[in-house]
Structure 1
Amino acid sequence: MNRRTFVGTAVGLAGFGTLGTGSAVQNGNGRGNSNGNGRGNGDGGLVNAEETGSGAIVATDDGFVISDQEITVDNGVGYDGGEGAYIIYNDGYDGEISNNEISVDEVPESPTFGIRVEGGDVDVRSNTVDGDDALGKQFLSIGVADGATGRAEDNTLNGGHRVGILAEGSGTDISIRSNDVTGLGPKSDGWAENGIQISGDATGDVRDNTVEDHWWDLDNFQSSGIILYQPGDSINIQRNEVRNNDAGIALWGGDRHNAIHNAVEVSEADPGENGVAHYGVLVLDTENTGVRQNTISATDGDIGILVYSSAENTKLIGNDVSGFDELIVDQGADTKLPNPFDPNS
């Protein structure tokens, strides 16, 4: 594995600190000798990809591979693609980003992405991204946008992040499967965290992920484990383990979604006294969406399933809800409930 340490300087790309300047970089793949700038001459798994002068790694053609890189970022910035700073970046090519390890100690500006895919058909798999617990600016572990397709699969994302996996933009369609996404737990400074987010007309499916510890411990914002925020239509959220988040699953916008066979749990008591509410599933501003056969439980939770008045024709079928102060609160129009229905049974 090729190891790089990127340390920022006072002047750099787009006014940020520059990755790679003044850094000590060790070649960890056992190939080649270090050269005069402190870098080993082995690429550790780069095909149709290169390191830029700012220290980021970018794809350069179809069939690219970016793999086996070990990268530490300390107040540095990578490639400036116009929407933020990126450590690993692809602009429209087909390929894969796999088996990389990114450790982020500090970022100078918001937003900074660990891995950013803008267009192309790309597999992002088996990467590890760790954000420092004290990151005060927006860091997003994996971001997919601009009509990109492919998979985000088997990644491990820990520590501080504004969003663990973000899919956004019309035409973006991504399969998000078998990832472990862990936030910092209760926090009240910096940014509220979300685990997995699909927004801005993007589509995809979210399946077999473990998402936990996204809690904002004030009553002015809210974190979510999995959130659809004004996405495209017909997104399936299936067989995920979602634990100890402000809102386990939030379905906000778009139509004909299905949240099915998920396990949503609040197993820890709220450590604060700030009037923070914890929910299992939220449904709002959507039509013909189903919440089916989920297990939703709490030790210290407020509402198991909350259907807002902006939701129409929501189908609540076969859910096992327990331990919340209120199991199901339905304010929606034409919600389909089991008949007879007793939310306290």
Structure 2
Amino acid sequence: MVTVRAVTVTPGVPDSLRLVDDWPEPPPEEGAILVEAMAVGICGTDLEIVAGEYGEAPPGQERLVLGHESLGRVLEDPTGTLQPGDLVAGVVRRPDPVPCPNCAVDEWDMCRNGQYTEHGIKGLPGFARDRWRIQPKFAVGLDPALAPVGMLLEPTSVVAKAWDHIERIGARAEWKPQTALITGAGPIGLLAALLATQRGLAVHVLDRNTTGPKPDLARALGATYHTVPVAELDFEPDVVIECTGAPPVLLDAMCKAGPIGIVCLTGVSSGGRHMDFDAGALNRDLVLENNVVFGSVNANRRHWDLAAQSLARADHSWLNSLVTRRVPVSAYAEAYTHTGGDIKTVLEFTA
């Protein structure tokens, strides 16, 4: 039997991270397109799964293969959708089997019954293995020039969805946004800022880091970088994309937006923290200024395609600077160890 290396955990069991050398070759039922893994990006979701906070193995299996920020090269595609040698990333989420009304029309990012599955997270093996398979519908081809950074497609799809929904909401009125505030300068925040600059907006990025690569990466986009609290900013943005999940930041962000402003929440809070807050004042401002606050997570195929277009026209050297640590799969445990200075850590299979 042919086997591959795979980075796996036992979901719900802390410190069960293992590199398995004899994981089964991906079966054809997983998809017609066979892919050689090049790299996977690592994010907070992976670290939480490694910590045993959540995660779900495929039915009948004890272990879950990690990796949802994928990048690979096509080995074979009998469907002709892609050609051998093409760069490809795999869409993370699959529609639920019922399906709900949204999954039935390929908007699985808006699943209503929670029965969706996700590679490397919930019920499907991930992409952190030497070879994986994917169905053509969920295989996204990439510009060959994106070979060093194509694993950024998944987080970019998340912000592509956020911007898509912001613009749909904005269409409710005569709306010509000029200014965007991005709170948080991690990968999601910086990619949200990238897409904001591609829309011609005046972009402001707020983060508590005063040193390291984040200020320079924001300024390289032409954005203004801030380290003061949101409440102390001297302007009212038309759009706010909140990427920290920190309760004080997101509450101030909701209060800061200007008239008919739109606030998109992408950061997930841990909960359990209580704060004194004037909910009545927030309600008054939201109502009287016709503001909208909404949450956004995941992405459907259309957003993945939009993200691929955004990355293709971005400054590739800037994108490469987002990757602050590249770790070979032989040293896999180091990749899943959080360090304060990282923006994006990448686990490389073909290094």
Structure 1 length as normaliser, TM-score?
Answer: 0.26
TM-score, normalised to structure 2, is 0.25
Higher normalized strand content (fraction of residues): 1
Structure with the bigger percentage of helix: 2
Higher relative contact order structure (alpha carbons within 8 Å, sequence separation ≥ 6): 2
